[in-house]
Copies of this chain bind each other. A is one copy, B any other.
Amino acid sequence: MSRIEIFGIEGIGEIVVGDDLASVIAAAAAGSTDTNLADGDVVVVTQKIVSKAEDRLVAIDPNDPLSHKPLVERESVRILRRRGDLIISETEHGFVCANAGIDLSNVERGWAALLPIDSDRSARRIRDGLRHRFGVDVAVIISDTFGRAWRRGVTDVAIGCAGVAGVVDLRGTPDALGREMQVTEVAIVDELAAAAELVMGKSTNIPVAVIRGVDASWLRDGSVADEIVRSPKEDLFR
């Protein structure tokens, strides 16, 4: 029977510039027999610790609550909407999100965390490190928290991945009544990111979660940039 398990990796301390996340994650996961990594696991890593390890922190004036706004403009290629202090923009990666993905929570006062330059590459680096140095063949997703059009509340989505499909294409797979299905391209990497958030929370200091038991057919080369980011040309809402 189809059964999936999701658990957080505890014991990951503050991440600083240059930290090797594969080593940090492997060590923390091995800290409990309950959380040892296994082949086929999907390891979901929050953007914040990736940005810290990759030196994507920028100093801002701690006494000016709007001091990160010039950064938002700099990190945006297109402003979609403004309301009050809120800016919804498109980043150079093609993500559409609030404040160009720049975020001040869980970052030391006086610093802002920018998005990683290439989160697919960040995911590949962690995946390769876990495989070559720790002998475990896992998929890796870098997740971040974005708002949506039309629906209230934020959800976690994938901004990078390695070893797992972005989109699973179910076009032409017969449905349960045996007829050919209509187009169904499921953004599996975003559903995995959302699922991981259920054990991470926002303030419990669990920046990494593991999803175990996913369909083996999803574990192939994948990319958020190539599969998930919708080009402005084919986007009806930009």
Contact = CB atoms under 8 A, between A and B. Distances in A.
Given A175-B105, A195-B198, A237-B237, A187 B2 contact: no
Contact of A5 (B3, B185, B237): B3
Contact of A152 (B4, B177, B227, B236): B227
Interface of A is mostly: loop
A153 B193 CA distance: 14
A98 to B, nearest CB: 10
A203 B2 CA distance: 13
B230 A150 contact: yes
Contacts of A197: 186, 191
B96 A149 contact: yes
Contact of A237 (B81, B194, B203): B81
Interface in A178-212: 179, 181-182, 184-188, 190-192, 194-195, 197-199, 201-206, 211
Contact of A191 (B80, B149, B195): B195
Contact of A228 (B104, B151, B179, B204): B151
Nearest to A227: B152
B202 A155 contact: no
A205 B177 CA distance: 9
Nearest to A191: B194
A190 B106 contact: no
Contacts of A170: 202-203
Interface stretch (A6-14, A17-25, A129-137): A6-14
Given A105-B175, A152-B167, A153-B228, 20 more contacts: A3-B5, A3-B8, A4-B5, A4-B199, A80-B236, A105-B179, A149-B150, A149-B235, A150-B235, A150-B237, A150-B238, A151-B230, A152-B187, A152-B227, A153-B187, A176-B203, A188-B198, A194-B194, A195-B195, A201-B215
Interface of A: 1-8, 10, 32, 34-35, 80-81, 83, 88, 95-96, 104-109, 145, 148-157, 166-167, 170, 173-177, 179, 181-182, 184-188, 190-192, 194-195, 197-199, 201-206, 211, 214-215, 227-230, 235-238
